[in-house]
Amino acid sequence: MRKRCYSLQYAPKQQLIISGGRKGCVCIFDLRQRQLLHTFQAHDSAIKALSLDASEDYIITGSAEGNMKVWKIAGHGLMHSFSNEHAKQSIFRNIGAGVMQIETCPGNRIFTCGADGTLKMRVLPDRYNTPSSIFDIL
C-alpha cells in the first residue's frame, strides 16, 4: 500500500524528517535510527503545509480544509488550534481552500499563506515562548 506525502520538513538538530500525508497523518522519522518514531492524526484532510520553529520544539501543520495546528514535537501534543484560518469563503465562486505555506519567525510569530489568496500572521500565547537560555530571561 502506497501512502502519499504532501509536505515534508527536516529537523537538523534532532535528525528528524517530519511528513504530512493525504489523510491528515503526521509521521516522524528518526534518520539516525532509520525508523519511524511516531504517527498521529493531525487533521481530517490532507496536510498541505508543515513548518518547524527554529528551536525544533514544535511543528505547525496546515490542512486542505484551511485549519492550522501547533504541535509539541516531544510528546506530540496539540498546543494550539486555529480553525478556518484559510477556509473557503464563498459558496458561489470556486475559491480554493487550504493552508499552502507556513513560516515561523522569532517571537512566536506564524505566517501563513492560503489558497484563498490571503496572508495571515498569528502570534502564539506567551506560555509557548520558553527561553532557550538563562540570558533570555535576564
Share of the chain above pLDDT 70, in %: 82
Give residue-wise pLDDT tens across range 28-68.
999 999 999 999 999 999 999 999 998 899 999 999 999 99
pTM for the whole structure: 0.81
- Hey, what domains does the chain have and what are their CATH numbers? 5-125 (2.130.10.10)
Give residue-wise pLDDT tens across range 56-108.
999 999 999 999 999 999 888 999 998 888 876 656 555 567 999 999 988 88
pLDDT at residue 106, rounded to an integer = 86
Backbone angles phi and psi of 137, in degrees to 5: -85, -40
